[in-house]
Amino acid sequence: MNLILFTFIVLLGFTSYYFGRRKAYTIQSTNKRLTALPQFYGYYLAIWCAIPAFIIFSLWAIFEPTIVKLLILSDYSNQGYLDDELNLIYEKTKALSRGQFTGEITPFIEASAEKYLSLRSIAQSSKAVIVLSIIIASVAYAYKKISSNSRTREPVEKFLKAVLFTASLAAILTTVGIVFSLIFQTIDFFKVIPLFDFVFGTHWYPAKAFVRDSSEALDPTMYSDTFGAVPIFAGTFFIAFIAMCVAIPIGLMSGIYLAEYASVKVRQYAKPLIEILAGIPTVVYGFFAALTVGPFLKEIGNSMGLDVSAESALAAGGVMGIMIIPFISSLSDDVITSVPQSLRDGSYAMGATKSETIKKVIFPAALPGIVGSILLGVSRAIGETMIVVMASGLAANLTLNPLESTSTITAQIVVILIGDQAFGDPKTQAAFALGMSLFLVTLCLNIVALRVVKKYREKYE
């Protein structure tokens, strides 16, 4: 139904475009000067067709369900039902009308379902009538307006500009969406668990919160020692640290080599090859870490008499480091290449060797940019999910031994939210609270890193 209506409106739009343009030609044929190119007359009419349709469709989408619900539930209003029960009745009605109802069908619900269907069809047909009549009215009005050869280009362009502006708000909307999706659950979570316990508690056993019987009242004391996030935060930074131990030396040295030493030919092949590492999906790294690196480390450890977990922090962190190499190498390569040649020439003229120039002149000059690239790498390591989920443990141990398994913020979010979630459960809310802390930490890192890199660019450009 909606689809038919939609196609009809699109067709109407095209017709009004055609009429608008034809109007322009008739004006032209009376030897009057047009105020804009003919197609603008067409666009003008088409916009007058699209805007009212859009407004009515959105109004309908917002208000129709509420009004239908009110009408259906008005039958039950004097029977002393609670709000929750009324909602349940409404859900049952909807399910029955779609034919997806399983369970006992009472005559009341059946009657409501019939009423629901008839209301829906009334709503649909009245929507069609209203949309079509308003569109025709507005197009007729606009048609009359262009007959007097009034301006059409300016309003059309203004409309386009408004569309462009709205699109650019998408980025802000996404950020707002992220904050909104996280903040309410997080606030609810901290109503049950004190912030202090979350930030400084050292025991993380969210599975314990799952045992709760839903009929029992929430008892905050039973959650003490359940949601202490210290092991999670420690594990996150520990694994990120291991990753950076792999990524910084290799990434930085390859960046320096590519920028300063490599011949054009080596650079031409090595750079894209290293960047392939950045294009490999993280789930593939996770599989690699879990299938190859983990058992390999375990075997080596066992042969040396060490007790290595097959899901060690070392395996996850090491593979994560490989993943981050290209981020650091290409960013530092860019940064080093943009150091002005005059600095190098000056150093060579003083008799310094190439490596001395790099270490004593170029590196200090490029340091802010390199620090920025490293910070971006750290932010990526902290936010990385699949490698940790697949290759590191899921139990939150508070340990600094890289051979044991640890868990991270991202892994815990996945563990908690995989499968069905019950909103309102402290366990689910805990995942959102972790998400919030992850978002804040990476946000700070990103802002600092981007600012450092930007400052550096401005210095030399």
Residues 238-297 touching other proteins, rule: CB under 8 A, are 249-254, 256-258, 260-262, 270, 273-274, 276-277, 279-284, 286-288, 290-292
Nearer to other proteins, 144 or 455 (CB): 455
Distance CA 309, CA 391 (A): 11
Segment contacting other proteins by CB under 8 A, of 70-78, 143-151, 217-225, 427-435: 427-435
Segment contacting other proteins by CB under 8 A, of 18-26, 47-55, 75-83, 431-439: 431-439
**Scanning residues 369 to 398, which ones bind other proteins (CB under 8 A)?**
376, 379-380, 382-386, 389-390
Total chain residues near other proteins (CB under 8 A): 90
Least distance from C-beta 258 to other proteins, angstroms?
7
> Residue 448, interface with other proteins (CB under 8 A)?
no
Is residue 23 within 8 Å of residue 41, measured between CB atoms? yes
Least distance from C-beta 103 to other proteins, angstroms?
21
Among 6, 25, 200, 423, binds other proteins (CB under 8 A): 423
Segment contacting other proteins by CB under 8 A, of 96-104, 224-232, 341-349, 406-414: 406-414
Residue with tokens 């996030």: 229
**Scanning residues 81 to 140, which ones bind other proteins (CB under 8 A)?**
none
Distance CA 251, CA 264 (A): 19
Least distance from C-beta 274 to other proteins, angstroms?
5
- Kindly write out the interface string for residues 327-366 of this chain, putting x where it contacts other proteins by CB under 8 A and - elsewhere: --x-----------------------xxxx-xx-------
Distance CA 382, CA 233 (A): 10
Among 157, 299, 307, 345, binds other proteins (CB under 8 A): 157
Nearer to other proteins, 206 or 435 (CB): 435
> Residue 1, interface with other proteins (CB under 8 A)?
no
Among 182, 240, 314, 315, binds other proteins (CB under 8 A): 182
Least distance from C-beta 310 to other proteins, angstroms?
13
> Residue 414, interface with other proteins (CB under 8 A)?
yes
Least distance from C-beta 185 to other proteins, angstroms?
7
